[in-house]
Amino acid sequence: MDKDKETPEMRREKMRQEELKNPSSSIHGSNLSDLVDGLGWKGTGILILLFILGFIIYAVFFR
């Protein structure tokens, strides 16, 4: 199909497909969901616990 005969819906779908191929959610192309997906649920739970413990230690010693 020619570019002149493309409907706006077809252009939007093509742009959406291009965005799915090359996500640009940040400068490096990765985000928090990529990190969590790579760690799995156990790793994510440990990471959250470490953040909480770090905050508690910071609050106790630096107040």
pLDDT in tens, 38-61: 777 888 889 899 999 999 999 999
From residue 36, alpha-carbon distances to 3, 26, 32 in Å are: 40, 16, 6
pLDDT at residue 3 in the model: 59
pTM score, whole prediction? 0.45
Domain ranges of the chain: 3-61
Rounded to 5 degrees, φ, ψ at 29 are 80, 15
Cβ–Cβ < 8 Å for 30, 22: no
Helix%, strand%, coil% for the chain, nearest 5? 75, 0, 25
Give the separation between CA 23 and CA 28, rounded to whole angstroms.
10
Q: What is the pLDDT of residues 12-42, one digit of tens each?
A: 888 888 877 776 554 555 666 666 667 778 8
Question: Tokens 């106790």 sit at which residue?
Answer: 60
